[in-house]
Structure 1
Amino acid sequence: MSKLFEHIFRVFDQFSKRKMPVYIIGGAVRDLLLQRPVSDVDFLIPWIDMEEAREIICSAFGSYPRLNRKFRTFNVIRPFCNFDFSMMREEFYKKPGELPEVRSGDLRTDLLRRDFTVNTMLMDSHFNIYDFIGGMEDIERKIIRTVTTVSFLEDPTRVLRGLRFAEHLNFNLADDFEILLRDAGEKRVFEGIEGHRIFAELKLAGKGIKRIYEVLCRAGIWSQMGLGFLEEKNLVKIICDEGEKWNGVEDFLKTLGKSIKEQHREIFAKKMKISKKHIKILEGGKY
């Protein structure tokens, strides 16, 4: 038995002893179905006392998890996998782009708060899979589809995440993906989003960063974030030509740095709150 499944069985066992439901949810279920490597496992547990949950998780792993009290989540890192625990919850967004407030929820409300259908499937301790929102069908059809039509209004970073999933999984975007993006753009939801959250998604995008850049250009999203110079025709042409060779955000920064004015480099770095390492690359340094 692999170390990954050994730890998964321990978690199931500890919650089962207390007669509490626990599921694997999200990307791990998706990747197991696609026979892809799994390096992150998300568990969904009931809304219970946080100290009780902390003790149960400690019993499974032999050490206390990191705790985020605001979102009632737990995290355990092992060399071979990252394990996250969240409680069944409901989310409320005061403003688009802001992090949500969370309240006690059930399985239905928790599934409806999630980003894409392919990330909503559940797996129980007997490895039965439950699909209430059509994730299995979308995996078979290789489609990235939002769970609700207000998904991008609630959290605009889901746009970048969806594009990243499409690239990494070699999936297509649902027919309404860019329609929902344009609708979110018309409501100017990207104006209030913090740049570091956008850059965090760019860092994870790998070779998909060119696609993200182009889609945001078409929707006029860079302008909403105060980075309208990224939509200038000359720059778009340069990135379209060079982007096919990119392997990640470092290549994007290198191309960007040599193609825009110094004042624009400063604006980009400040808006995205990028690290000193990435500022150096943007300014023409090696990486």
Structure 2
Amino acid sequence: MFLMWSRILSPRVIGRTSLKWRNLYTMQLKTSEFQSLFTDGLHELAGLFEKHQCELRIAGGAVRDLLSGKRPEDVDFATTATPEEMKRMFQTAGIRMINNKGEKHGTITARLHNENFEVTTLRVDVQTDGRHAEVEFTTDWQKDAERRDLTINSMFLGLDGTLYDYFNGYEDLQNRKVRFVGSAEQRIQEDYLRILRYFRFYGRVALKPDNHDPETLAAIRENGRGLAAISGERIWVELKKIVVGNHASHLLELMYTMELAQYIGLPPDGDVEEMKRVWQYATAHSPKPMTILAALFHSPEEVDKMDLRLKVSREEKSLALFLVKYRRELRKSEDKLESLKPFTDFVIDNRELDTQVKVCELLKYQGEEKLLAEFCKWSIPRFPVSGHDLRRIGVTSGKEIGTTLQKLRDIWKKSRYQMDKDELLSYVKL
């Protein structure tokens, strides 16, 4: 269903903020994606807040997704009720509350009809250090919108479908424009991770790879060193999303141009041209984030440094090391099956559950589409002989069992994994 809008109020000035005079635009959303959110749990939640005369609206990314015609995966709510008021409301209604670690920041999570609803009190930042913020609760919706990072993330949606847009977020979304709320420099200095969030949302929203506002880029360049104080885990969450989004090649190159790489765990002299080549070949095949980033590394030592900074998972680091080690060893051959042979051998010899996945990522890295298609069809053959089989025919020494199994595995490999158990056991000399 297409977006259907009706303007229910004319734009009106709502007052002076710490930024400047702003207009509140209100429109009404009527889409199937929006209506699909109204489960029994949300109906009960909405009725409870209405009963206590507290405003409740959908906030942030869920609004952006709904305006883009998408049903959001996660829906966050904002309210004028304080955390204490929410707790009293829920307790009186016999509603269970869970995971209330965010209470000091104003977030209460209620459990209704087997659904979790995360509701946060409107806030203003009273003090920030570039990583964390001390907040104060408010009932002013615009003040809460003002503290958010990007205009497209600063909108609210009433449960009647009314959009509350204080900073032209809907217009920016229509124009595929990514802008900070107010001063880019001020928003970045409140939380330097917003530099990477800008790049991430640029990859999701912008149509063209290089349509940035010059003032925004200037603010990012001037404040890039602030990323050094951000935890590696937070950086890695954003970086992974950037790499799998649109314009990833351009955005990574831009990070190098703006000298951000040294602060976010990437090698300062990363091979940007190799990365651009890999991205061009691999992007159509849904590569893992590390497959693209591995192109930037010159050596295993640089992978180790990246891991120390970003604390990536063991599987992610293992993939990076694998790609750096084997990316030059793909043999060119007109015979596709012959070209696949070293890879099939590698998978079977290593006997690791994820080795086949690594080889697929290597083929994506190299742009070997035909080999990738062939390899994805291949099922790993199972070595048919076990130590129990050898003991059954009279091989009892543990050392001898190990040696014999390896000899049989070599014979099996030379047969291109075709020999069955009986054929292999015929080679055992007792």
TM tier relative to shorter chain: 0.7 to 0.9
**Unaligned residue ranges in structure 2 (runs of 5+):** 1-31, 323-354, 359-430
2:151 aligned with 1:114, yes or no? Answer: no
In the alignment, what sits opposite 1:255? 295
Q: Counterpart of 2:58 in 1: which secondary structure?
A: strand
Deviation of 1:113 after TM superposition, in Å, equals 0.8
2:201 aligned with 1:165, yes or no? Answer: yes
Q: Counterpart of 1:283 in 2: which secondary structure?
A: helix
Deviation of 1:44 after TM superposition, in Å, equals 0.7
Q: Specify the code of the residue in structure 2 equivalent to 1:196.
A: E
In the alignment, what sits opposite 1:44? 78
Q: Which of 272, 289, 306 is the matching residue for 1:236?
A: 272
- TM-score normalised by the chain length of structure 2: 0.58
Distance 1:211 1:155, change over 3 A: farther
Contact 1:121 1:135 in 2 (8 A): yes
2:308 aligned with 1:270, yes or no? Answer: yes
Q: Specify the code of the residue in structure 1 equivalent to 2:201.
A: F
Contact 1:25 1:44 in 2 (8 A): yes
Deviation of 1:115 after TM superposition, in Å, equals 0.9
Distance 1:264 1:135, change over 3 A: same
Contact 1:39 1:82 in 2 (8 A): no
Q: For residues 94 and 300 of structure 2, what CA distance do their matches in structure 1 show? A: 50
Q: Which of 103, 127, 142 is the matching residue for 2:136?
A: 103
2:321 aligned with 1:283, yes or no? Answer: yes
Q: Which of 171, 179, 199 is the matching residue for 2:236?
A: 199
In the alignment, what sits opposite 1:53? 86
In the alignment, what sits opposite 2:18? none
Deviation of 1:83 after TM superposition, in Å, equals 4.3
Alignment root-mean-square deviation, CA: 3.0
Bigger radius of gyration among the two: 2
**CA deviations over 1:106-165 (Å, ceiling 9, x no partner):** 323211110111111221132111111111221221101100221122222222222222
**CA deviations over 1:210-260 (Å, ceiling 9, x no partner):** 3442221111011244x462434xx1111011123243413234435xx42
Contact 2:97 2:111 in 1 (8 A): no
Distance 1:22 1:275, change over 3 A: same
Q: Counterpart of 1:210 in 2: which secondary structure?
A: helix
- Structure number with the bigger relative contact order (C-alpha 8 A, sep ≥ 6) is 1
Q: For residues 81 and 177 of structure 1, what CA distance do their matches in structure 2 show? A: 39
**Unaligned residue ranges in structure 1 (runs of 5+):** none
- Report the count of equivalent residues: 278
2:74 aligned with 1:34, yes or no? Answer: no
In the alignment, what sits opposite 1:223? 262
2:196 aligned with 1:156, yes or no? Answer: no
